[in-house]
Amino acid sequence: MNNQAQVYYFSNLDSTSKYLKELISQGVSSNTVIWADKQSQGKGRQGREWISPPGGLYFSVLLFSSSVPVKPAFSLVAGEAVVEALKLFSNKNIQIKWPNDIMVSGRKVGGILCESLNKNLIVGVGLNIKHPAKIPKKLKGKIGYLSDLECIPREKILEKILTHLFLYWEHFQKEGFSPFRERQLQLAYLLNREIIVDDCRGRMVDYGPSGELILLTEENERKKIIQGSVKELGGN
């Protein structure tokens, strides 16, 4: 396992991020990782439920910074770390959907959730790998699976993700989002797609200096979106 990380494995937790938050008060060090084979109360953005059956990869990482980074910038960078690590094992076209979804063929296969807590940043990662026997009806056709990774030991995948994540975190703290922008655009699932973010409609054309979504509206105006829920026009 990555020599920078202190990894704690559990067969089942309610939430890896929740458990990590509880450990912070006990003085755990930066780069502490909580990894579970299953979560009973996994959470995504805006408190949405994250289905976490056995066979996936679910973990949370504690990172320390003197100044917690502006979101969504590091959500994207963390997503890039995950994607680049996954590409070592998979030939699939893995992309990032702003601000924190991991996508394959138009379906969500994973997610990143960054949470600030004092001067700590908790990065939670959930990846769908093994196809479960049953899928909730509301998720059918919306989520996908990295099934080509099913035979790869989860600890090997985790180790590669952590190696990328710690390296990118170090670079991000020194240089911000700018050095990552070009690669982010190459990985951007939404690039050139017509979308609506809350009440703003347009075509995604770029990222801002802090990972903001840049939309070109029908009036040919460039709108900077810091946060919001994305809906593809004609899609999910």
| pLDDT tens digits, 134-180 | 776 666 667 899 999 999 999 999 999 999 999 999 999 999 999 99
What pTM was computed for the model? 0.92
Domains 6-187 and 194-232 share a fold: no
Q: What count of other Cβ atoms lies within 10 Å of the Cβ of residue 87?
A: 14
Least confident interval from 91-100, 107-116, 134-143: 134-143
User: Where are the chain's structural domains?
Assistant: 6-187, 194-232
The CATH number of the structural domain formed by 194-232 is 2.30.30.100
How many Å apart are CA 99 and CA 80, to the nearest integer? 11
Give the residue with greater pLDDT, 101 vs 132: 101
What is the per-residue pLDDT for 86?
Answer: 98
- In this prediction, residues 209-218 reach a mean pLDDT of 94
Band of residue 42 on the pLDDT scale cut at 50, 70, 90 = low
Q: What count of other Cβ atoms lies within 10 Å of the Cβ of residue 124?
A: 26
Angle at 233 between CA 185 and CA 196, to 5 degrees: 70
Spatial contact of 36 and 17, defined as CB atoms under 8 Å apart: no
| Architecture per CATH, 6-187 | 2-Layer Sandwich (3.30)
For 74-86, write each residue's pLDDT tens digit. 999 999 999 999 9
Q: Which amino acid is at 59?
A: F
Q: What is the DSSP string of 102-168?
A: EEETTEEEEEEEEEEETTEEEEEEEE--SPPS---GGGTTTB---GGGTTS-HHHHHHHHHHHHHHH
Q: What is the DSSP letter of 11?
A: S
| The two structure tokens encoding residue 120 | 């700590």
Band of residue 185 on the pLDDT scale cut at 50, 70, 90 = very high
- CA torsion 217-222-225-229 (nearest 10°) is 20
- Beta strand 32-36 with 6-10 is parallel
How many Å apart are CA 215 and CA 225, to the nearest integer? 8
For 216-236, write each residue's pLDDT tens digit. 999 999 999 998 889 998 754
What is the per-residue pLDDT for 142?
Answer: 77
Average of per-residue pLDDT values in the chain: 89
